[in-house]
Structure 1
Amino acid sequence: MKQWKIYGILVLVMFIWGFNLPAVKYLVSEVRPVTMTAFRIFLASLTVFTILTAMKLVRKPTKKEWKFIFVGALLNVVLHQYFLSIGLSMTSGSNAGLILGTGPVLTAVLVSLIMRVYPSRLQWVGVVLGLFGVSATVLAAGEGASGLSFGDVFVFISILAQVVSYLVISKAAKTLDPRLLTAYMFLIGSFVLFVISLVQEPGEIQVFFEVQPIFWALFFGSAIIGTAVGHMLFNYSVGKTGPSKAAIFMNLNTFFSLVGASIFLDEVISIRHIFGLVFIVTGVIFGSGAAEDLWRKHKLKKSVSN
């Protein structure tokens, strides 16, 4: 698949994740976060397996691939989802957004240190511009970042676990389809989270029998589209384009989340949000390597014409 199509998929995923935020906010207000996450991810795993079965892509992993699956499930599902859900209940939205916005920077640094794949100067410029745009966008939604709390630490652990999981996914993608990897990770991770919920949130399953019909509509939509389809496409893109470039697009998630919140939660989008969007989009163009691709094509056309 051409690189530009992968970029298009990544933008679509950020759109899906951004508009998934209002749904998740509602869901966790009705059912406690770990129990909710366990069942949502379990449904997502069944969805991905169903899609891949129709595509005839389901197979039994090898012993080596099982290692990647278990490590990926621990990092991308259990640690990421657990610490994110707990952290968001203990810190401000501004702080959480800023910390989550460091994902592309953490990815670039870890990939450079561990895999020795060094981003170009233009990509580093894109990382900085994207981080600045995320900061401006998130801070526009509140009164700024407050002091460091345990919630901030939990959110940071969450994004760090997710970033490290991209390295696992990238390596596993050499032999295992990232979409199938996603299905197995979700299935294993959901069971681990379910066990944790039984200990941390005993009796919470009963709440599912007391919710309104709108809850189930959002639950199925979030699990199937936001989690199953979103993560399946994102992990597929990580396997194709590499963790550094894919992570750059996470910057767009902040903006789409605010748009979704504006439409469904009546939150206001200001000029500062638009200002942040300009830097986010610029950062994505430079950080993903798209700017360099366009420049190389321009130089090639110019040399051919001469």
Structure 2
Amino acid sequence: MQNTKYYLTLFFIMIFWGMNVPLVKILVGNLSPITMTAFRVMTAGLTVFMILAIFKLVRLPTKREAKYILLATVLNVVCHHYFLSLGLKGTSGTNAGIILGAGPILTALIATVLIKKKTNFLRWTGFILGGAGVAVTTLVGSNGISEVNIGDIYVFLSILTQAFSFILISKLAKTLDPRLLTGYMLVIGAGILLVIGLITEPGAIKEFATLSKEIWLAFFTSAIIATAFGHMSYNFIIGKIGPAEASIFLNFTPFFALVGSVIMLGEKVTIFHLIGLVLIVGGVLLGSGVLERGEKMEGSTVAPLQGLEK
């Protein structure tokens, strides 16, 4: 019961992360995608730094840390948000939410290949299930099996580049507070995206002057609550209950993305969306090793958690 507050917080984070998909879909429908993303991410980054400054957690990175920060920023912020904004411009929030749900399984697969992490039959089964879920969603989720939506491909590239970045982040988090790392990545990445936006979307900044109150509300909700507070809180809770337990909650995000797309965008959920969702969630549970960790933790959960509370 001592971790109930963390579990409830994680659950609410997943609601906001899932709902953030249709929110960003709304934003790219009213603003040029790259420029909008640059300002949204910059708002999130500045919010993170203001909070960290209050708690005196801000410091300059070392040369080694700066190198990893830049590499991780290019993958986790620039490429991820660039492809995501373009993808949501061309596909549905429903499809995007389900494809993004494959993030944990892609991370596990990349770790298996790049850092030679040991795997087994259950995890390979999970990789296959997750891939099948993405394929079902992409091929028949909206346009029929004869047509692949380019927006779906962009969304897949966004989560793939982010998955690669997690390998770098895991190394960097050993010496740099993950919350401070989040702030650096968001601000630096936003600066790079703004330059790209100025080149590819000239005059896009003027679009902000014509936004309605509802769109501004979507903008700040996405930037401050979903991106800034969401990522900071998630990283903090990982330090309290561990990544194994925290990662289980990530399986809720595709579901809430579907719910949000239906409520906010009026999209329809087909049987293929549901099949894709089930395959990806099943793949994540097997491929990320969550089920295996759960079995190992059974009967010995209380002691480790009490140690972390001290």
With normalisation by structure 2, the TM-score equals: 0.79
What is the correspondence of 1:20-31 to structure 2 with a 5 Å cutoff?
A: 20-31=20-31
Distance change (3 Å), C-alpha of 1:127 and 1:231: farther
Would you say the 8 A contact 2:105–2:288 is kept in 1?
A: no
The alpha carbon displacement at 1:147 in A equals: 3.2
What's 2:58 paired with?
Answer: 58
1:149-188 paired onto structure 2 within 5 Å: 151-188=151-188
Task: Please report how far the alpha carbon of residue 142 of structure 1 lies from its aligned counterpart in structure 2 after TM superposition.
Answer: 2.9
* Cα distance between partner residues in 1 of 2:237 and 2:122: 21
For 1:300 and 1:193, the matched residues in 2 are separated by 46
Relative to structure 1, is the Cα distance of residues 116 and 52 closer, same or farther in structure 2, using a 3 angstrom cutoff? same
Q: CA deviation at 1:75?
A: 0.8
Q: Residues of 1 paired with 2:23 and 2:154: CA distance?
A: 22
Quote the offset at 1:26 in angstroms: 1.6
Determine if contact 2:52/2:58 at 8 Å carries over to the other structure.
Answer: yes
* In structure 1, C-alpha distance between the alignment counterparts of 2:134 and 2:221, rounded to whole Å: 27
Relative to the length of structure 1, the TM-score reads 0.80
Distance 1:269 1:33 in 2: 25
CA contact (8 A) 1:246 1:288 kept: no
Letter in 1 for 2:174: K
Question: Which shows bigger deviation, 156-165 or 125-134?
Answer: 125-134
Q: Specify the SS of the correspondent of 2:267.
A: coil
Q: Pick closer, same or farther for the CA change 1:120–1:221 going to 2, 3 Å.
A: same
The worse-fitting range, judged by mean Cα deviation, of 9-18 and 140-149 is 140-149
Change in 2 beyond 3 A, CA 1:173/1:103: same
Q: Which moved more, 1:209-218 or 1:126-135?
A: 126-135
- Distance, in Å, in 2 between the alignment partners of 1:149 and 1:262 is 20
Deviations, residues 22-57 of structure 1 (Å, cap 9, x unaligned) = 221221111110110000000000111122223322
Would you say the 8 A contact 1:94–1:144 is kept in 2? no
What amino acid sits opposite 2:218 in the alignment?
L
Q: Distance in 2 between matches of 1:145 and 1:81?
A: 27
The answer to whether the Cα contact below 8 Å between 1:84 and 1:155 also exists between their aligned partners in 2 is yes
SS at match of 1:117: coil
Aligned residue for 2:306? none
Specify whether residues 134 and 8 from structure 1 end up closer, same or farther in structure 2 by C-alpha distance, changes over 3 A only.
farther
Greater mean alpha carbon deviation, residues 86-95 or residues 191-200: 86-95
One-letter code of the match for 1:114?
Answer: L
Q: Structure 1: which amino acid aligns with 2:204?
A: E
Aligned-partner Cα distance in 2 for 1:269–1:153:
19
Runs of at least 5 residues in structure 2 that lack an aligned partner in the other structure: 302-310
Aligned twin of 1:199: 199
Q: 1:215 corresponds to which residue?
A: 215
Q: How far is the alpha carbon of 1:103 from its aligned partner?
A: 3.2
Q: Which moved more, 1:46-55 or 1:279-288?
A: 279-288
What is the DSSP-based 3-state SS (H/G/I as helix, E as strand, rest coil) of the residue aligned with 1:56?
coil
* RMSD (Å), alpha carbons: 3.8
Cα distance, 1:146–1:38 mapped onto 2, change above 3 Å: farther
| Residues 19, 256 of structure 1: 8 Å contact kept | yes
Q: 1:225: how far off?
A: 1.0
Structure-1 separation of matches of 2:234 and 2:8: 11
The whole-number CA distance in structure 1 between the counterparts of 2:245 and 2:140 is 26
Q: Aligned equivalents of 1:129 and 1:3: distance in 2?
A: 31
* One-letter amino acid of the structure 1 residue matched with residue 46 of structure 2: L
Q: Does structure 1 residue 45 correspond to structure 2 residue 16?
A: no
Q: What is the aligned partner in structure 2 of residue 304 from structure 1?
A: none
Please say if residues 245 and 287 of structure 1, whose CA atoms lie closer than 8 Å, have aligned partners that are also in contact: no
Deviates more, 1:26-35 or 1:263-272: 263-272
Residue 234 of structure 1 deviates from its aligned partner by 4.7
Preserved CA contact (<8 Å) 1:108 1:119: no
Aligned residue for 1:59, secondary structure, equals coil
Distance in 2 between residues matched to 1:237 and 1:144, nearest whole Å: 41
Output the CA distance in 2 between the equivalents of 1:52 and 1:148.
43
Deviates more, 1:243-252 or 1:73-82: 243-252
Structure 1: tracts of 5 or more residues without a match: 302-306
Deviations 1:158-209 (A, max 9, x none): 2221111111111101101111111001111111111111111111111111
Give the Cα–Cα distance (whole angstroms) in 1 for the partners of residues 14 and 156 of structure 2: 20
Please name the residue that 1:142 is paired with. Answer: 142
Whether the 8 Å contact between 2:105 and 2:284 is mirrored in structure 1 is no
Does structure 1 retain, via aligned residues, the 8 Å contact 2:18–2:97?
no
Tell me the residue number matched to 1:111.
111
Code of the residue aligned with 1:49 in structure 2: it is: F
Q: Deviations over 1:215-272 (max 9, x none)?
A: 2111111100111122334556788999999777655432210011122233345677
Shift of 1:8: 7.0
Shift of 1:115: 1.5
Matched positions, count? 300
